[in-house]
Amino acid sequence: MTEIDAKIDGLVPAWLTLPDIAEQLGVEVTRVRQLVKEGQLIAVRRGENRVLQVPADFIKEDKVVKGLVGTLTLLKDDGFTDEEMLEWLFTEDESLPGTPAQALRENRGTEVKRRAQALAV
């Protein structure tokens, strides 16, 4: 496990495999893979078998958390890697309060996007 893997593992409270997400969303696994490919979800290889997994906080009530896709797009446009996006989303931000991922789950996406835009140089 690399240093960044260990750091992200320490930040992200729970993970779901792509089949788990497909089941929750009521879609085929290929659709979930497409969401990852399109940058609407972030998946990282984890564990002994290096299975693709997505933070559980990205899924709420059988949907991708509202505001996540736009936030990921902003961060990607700012040049963030998937690992850096995960780190940012799951690191405490006292001004929110909580983590950006929590704020998105609590429907406070506007605040999260504002912070993501402020990161742009």
Distance CA 14, CA 12 (A): 6
Q: What pLDDT is stored for residue 3 in this prediction? A: 66
Tens-place pLDDT, residues 5-27: 788 888 999 999 999 999 999 99
Q: What are the extents of the domains in the chain?
A: 3-119
Of 2, 1, 36, which Cα lies nearest the Cα of 16? 36
Domain 3-119 fold is Multidrug-efflux Transporter Regulator; Chain: A; Domain 2 (1.10.1660)
SS (H, E, C) 34-94: HHHHCCCCCCEEECCCCEEEEEHHHEECCEECCCHHHHHHHHHHCCCCHHHHHHHHCCCCC
In this prediction, residue 121 carries a pLDDT of 59
Compute the mean pLDDT over every residue in the chain, rounded to the nearest whole number.
92
Residue 68's pLDDT is 97
Q: Which residues of the chain have pLDDT under 70?
A: 1-4, 121
